[in-house]
Chain A
Amino acid sequence: MTLDLIKPGYTAILKIIGGEGALRHRLLDMGLTPNTKVTVRKVAPMGDPIELFLRGYVLTLRAEDAANISVEGVEKI
């Protein structure tokens, strides 16, 4: 399962951070490292981007980029 498919109100554990170059590096730098727990908080009014909560702060990224991140252990909060 990939991160873009997680519905708001669910948490998941990040497994593989895919993608390449600047985008991937930025994701890692922002703390989206394997085994990090994230909560999908919200989807923007027009359906994209998505809003995440992780490591005590709020981050937004586009669904197409979230699609590169595979997750496990999806749970409802």
Chain B
Amino acid sequence: MKYLLALAGNQNCGKTTLFNCLTGSNQHVGNFPGVTVEKKEGTILKHKDTVLVDLPGIYSLSPYTAEEVVTRDFILKEHPHAIINIVDATNLERNLYLTLQLMELNIPMVIALNMMDEVRSSGNSIKVKELSNHLGIPIIPISASKNEGIADLMDAVMKVLEENKPAIKLDFCKGEVHRAIHSIAHIIEDQAKDAGFPLRFAATKLIEGDKPMIEAMALSESENHILGHIVEEMESALHTDREAALADMRYSYIENLCAECVIKHHESKEQIRSEKIDRLLTHKYFGIPIFICIMMFVFYLTFHVLGAPLQSLLELGIDVTTNALSHLLTITGVSPWLHSLVINGICAGVGSVLSFLPIIVLLFFFLSILEDSGYMARVAFVMDKLLRKIGLSGRSFVPMLIGFGCSVPAIMSTRTLSSERDRKMTIILTPFMSCSAKLPIYGMITMAFFPHHSAIVMISLYLLGIIMAILSGLLFKNTLFRGKPIPFILELPAYRFPSARSVVLHMWEKAKDFLKKAFTIIFVAAIVIWFFQSFDWSLNMVTDSGHSMLAGIGSILAPLFAPIGFSDWRASTALIVGLTAKESVVSTLSVLTGATGNVALSGALHTIFPSALAGFSFLTFTILYMPCVAAFAATRRELGSLKGALLTALYQTTVAYIVALLVFQIGHFII
């Protein structure tokens, strides 16, 4: 690597689109060390020796969110050779606020002035050259979504890299703030140098009262005293406090700059269009029903119209491959256990999880359209009040909703939540939303025990899941996650057509993520379960899985389930196998009872569950206990800790047990 570049900018300014334009598909997704903030990096197209790191979308370099801290640490510690600062030309004032702070970091910089096409089409214009002269930074107008100006941008970046000259014009402060910055810069010159901070940045942050900077600089008592005095003087002269003084200084400078360089005759077309769309989409009465309709439509397309045929097609493909492989193994005459391992273990296990792939890809297709178009921010706006009651914010609503489809993409989609606390809580609560893989189980039990009341049983199960999520939320809010939620101050970006490239790349990324999981953790889990299912305790292969170790474990666990109504080993075994994928509870029960067909299975279930209440208790446990290995793997990945994922699974299973116990015991008492 010859050059390291950092891409920084506000949220919703087209940063990801630009990143995709610059790097194509040469991307690598990871985490910044120590935090679960996503770090994307890639090599620049046509400049293979130049690496670009996509920093999180931020509005400022304050030390308050993980994203801001990560950005600032990255720039200060990794010393990128240059920064590409992407700026939304339709929203220059707020975007330049970050620019002014980035300038203080004393690193060569280029501004990519994005969405210039929108500015022009609205009949407005920006005097790019003047703006560039004022800031002392090259500014290249681009349109990332139309792939315009990208070559010019890279030319400018290369030029800046060769010159290696940081932004020099730091004359945007005046009056009292200017005086304070210079006095302090004078005092801390040596310390800043020793600590490796750009002087101007250190001085500004000290005036702001930035805690990490104060700690890092370790000033002596007398220096602190003088610093305090300078700040006090500035505050009393300006009749305001230190934080407001600096924000005001930056924004005042920007306002003057924009007054000079931006010619704005009209509000931008996109802004006007957005206001019109919002009249409907966030309407007082129609907003929520429309949202429900949109989500139902997405679910209908994902799980029904498009997902189901694709899923059966993929299943067919897996079947054909498995059969061919089985045939091949038979001809080559491998030992039966190896045959069974490959076919019944790996192919069956990984195959059943793999068949989720179409649904996950489709769901993320729709979600990234909703996200990139700007609608998700409206969902957060509309739903915030509801979720605040359980200590979350409107942003968590969408992952939970996806949970009704499948917990895996739901947990994966929590990545968009900006607060780590909200993200963790959402990950833990989401599996309580009954996923679609559990439907066959509900179908099986209701058919056997509640043939005339299936609808009400189903609804009560879904409600039970939601209620448990709410109760858990309340519990966590007041215990584990007592900390203050980060403030809900959210930009509602103008509606825009999502770029096909971003949507496809996003889908591909999630698919890759899922496939990686399918062939690692799920692969291992499938082998482990196969092993227990195919061998008895003396490690002889069994033909009847009723004699397997798994059945043995099921029998050992069976008494545990007696208090919640079913002590038959087949039920507990099915619950264990259900961990591979929830629908396999059904297939396991039919294998273990030897029942073929639904009617026979219904009859056989009466031998496992002594009463309808026991059947219902089984359903209660099923909906709440730990999710399948695929979801567990997603939890582990998004929480960033195996321990966290295990504790989550333990919590979910405990809740399931307690609720089933209450249902069964109280029900028993009543009936």
Contacts and interface: CB of A to CB of B under 8 A. Distances in A.
Interface residues of A, number: 34
Contacts, number: 121
In this complex, the member of B268, B284, B381, B489 whose beta carbon has the largest number of chain A beta carbons within 10 angstroms is B489
Interface in A1-36: 17, 21-31, 33-34, 36
B385 A57 contact: no
Interface in A36-59: 36, 41-49, 51, 55-59
30 contacts: A17-B244, A21-B64, A22-B64, A22-B486, A22-B487, A25-B243, A26-B62, A26-B64, A29-B59, A29-B62, A30-B94, A31-B93, A31-B251, A33-B248, A34-B240, A44-B282, A48-B385, A51-B282, A56-B90, A56-B91, A56-B92, A56-B267, A57-B271, A58-B491, A59-B489, A59-B491, A59-B492, A60-B490, A61-B490, A62-B487
In this complex, the member of A25, A41, A43 whose beta carbon has the largest number of chain B beta carbons within 10 angstroms is A25
Nearest to B64: A22
A19 to B, nearest CB: 9
A72 interface: no
Given A22-B486, A61-B489, A46 B385 contact: yes
Contact of A65 (B94, B248, B271, B487): B487
Interface of A: 17, 21-31, 33-34, 36, 41-49, 51, 55-62, 65
Contacts of A41: 275
B489 A56 contact: no
Contacts of A57: 91, 94, 271, 491, 493
A59 B244 CA distance: 19
Contacts of A26: 59-60, 62, 64, 487, 489
Contacts of A23: 487, 489
A-B pairs, top 4 by smallest CB distance, nearest first, are A28-B247, A29-B60, A22-B64, A46-B385
- Interface SS majority for chain A: mixed
Given A55-B93, A62-B488, A65-B489, A30 B385 contact: no
B501 interface: no
A74 B354 CA distance: 59
Nearest to A8: B284
B287 interface: yes
A34 B239 CA distance: 11
Contacts of A34: 240, 244, 248
Contacts of A28: 243-244, 247-248
A31 B97 contact: yes
B670 to A, nearest CB: 36
Interface string B371-409: 000000100011011101000000000000000000000
B282 A42 contact: yes
A45 B282 contact: yes
A48 B384 contact: yes
A51 B488 contact: no
B400 to A, nearest CB: 17
A25 to B, nearest CB: 5
Interface string B223-266: 00000000000000000100110011001000000000000000
A58 B278 CA distance: 11
A44 B381 contact: yes
